[in-house]
Amino acid sequence: MTENYHIPVLLNECINGLAIKPNGVYVDVTYGGGGHSARILEKLTTGRLIAFDQDVDAMANVPDDERLIFAQHNFSFLKNFLSYYGIDQVDGILADLGVSSHDFDEAGRGFSFRFDAPLDMRMNQTGVLTAATIVNEYNEADLIRIFRQYGELKSARRAAAEIVKARDEKPVDTTTGLKEVLKKLVPQKASSKFLAKVFQALRIEVNGEIDVLRNLLTDSYDVLKPGGRFVVMSYHSLEDRLVKNFFQRGGFDKNIEKDFYGNPNTKFKIIEKLIVPGNEEIEMNSRARSAKLRIAEKI
């Protein structure tokens, strides 16, 4: 694993949550720097690990280990990939939904407002849709929707209006250019928080992150064996809300199916209450601050 690629968050808690069997089959749907996967492999003897990552840069972190099958794909292909390898069900799934430190620190990828870079934000570099396409081609109503829904931005309407106005003059295709367009809206005492919400909203739209997560949660019941563990770590409220509702209620909306006694027809048993990093871990890795870990077991 490349040392500075990504520091795995809540590493011990994630691995303990999987309750790894030495001969089991496990899936890491967000391989990244391979920190979580390396620890899983340490606990396997005859077991197997299937790891997914659509980012070509992650390939540099894949070890030569016959127990590991690496798929350079988005985890939306999970069921198809397992079927291809003749795997009916697995003993555990790990999903670390955060953007890797590597992606944030690679200036040219456009994930961070700290650098002047093209508005890209593609986790899969072969993808067609970029943040620049969204900013320059989406209509104002869709921009408002994205900023409200994915960024939870109170000034979504004003942000969209400023972008539409600016792009009529010239394309807004860099991170610095976008910051300049929105500068009159940025609160002086909370500029980083404001910009983080804007960039988060664009990144989620570029990569279809919410839809992909919904599909993973829905597919997990078919993929996991009875008693199989599902460990999910999220970094913003939109994702955590989906995971929490799915684990607790078996669905994503208010119209949840209930049994004869009025209990939600959930398919999972909660193993741990919400787990968050302690002060010591946050001091060592500031990007762990927003992490929320949930663990459930298939009933």
The reply to whether 93 and 112 lie within a common domain is no
Query: Quick check: is 6 in a domain?
Result: no
Query: Quick check: is 3 in a domain?
Result: no
The reply to whether 70 and 112 lie within a common domain is no
The reply to whether 122 and 261 lie within a common domain is no
- Per residue in 129-139, pLDDT (tens digit) is 999 999 999 99
The reply to whether 178 and 221 lie within a common domain is no
Q: How many CB atoms lie within 10 A of CB 144?
A: 18
The reply to whether 111 and 201 lie within a common domain is yes
The whole-number pLDDT of residue 287 equals 84
Number of domains in the chain: 2
- Say if residue 4's pLDDT is above 60: no
The reply to whether 200 and 161 lie within a common domain is yes
- Say if residue 221's pLDDT is above 50: yes
- pLDDT confidence tier of residue 2, bands split at 50, 70 and 90: very low
Burial 40-78 (b: 16+ CB within 10 A, else e): bbebbeebbbbbbbbbebbeebbeeeeebbbbeebbbeb
- Residue with the bigger pLDDT between 264 and 44: it is 44
Which residue range(s) make up the domain with 52? 11-101+210-298
- Per residue in 185-198, pLDDT (tens digit) is 999 889 999 999 99
CB-count burial class (<10 Å; 0-12, 13-18, 19+) for 127: middle
Mean pLDDT of 57-73: 91
Q: How large a percentage of the chain has pLDDT more than 70?
A: 95
The reply to whether 146 and 275 lie within a common domain is no
The reply to whether 154 and 137 lie within a common domain is yes
The reply to whether 85 and 226 lie within a common domain is yes
Q: Which CATH number covers residue 97?
A: 3.40.50.150
Q: Which of 207, 230, 261 is the last residue of a domain?
A: 207
- pLDDT confidence tier of residue 165, bands split at 50, 70 and 90: very high
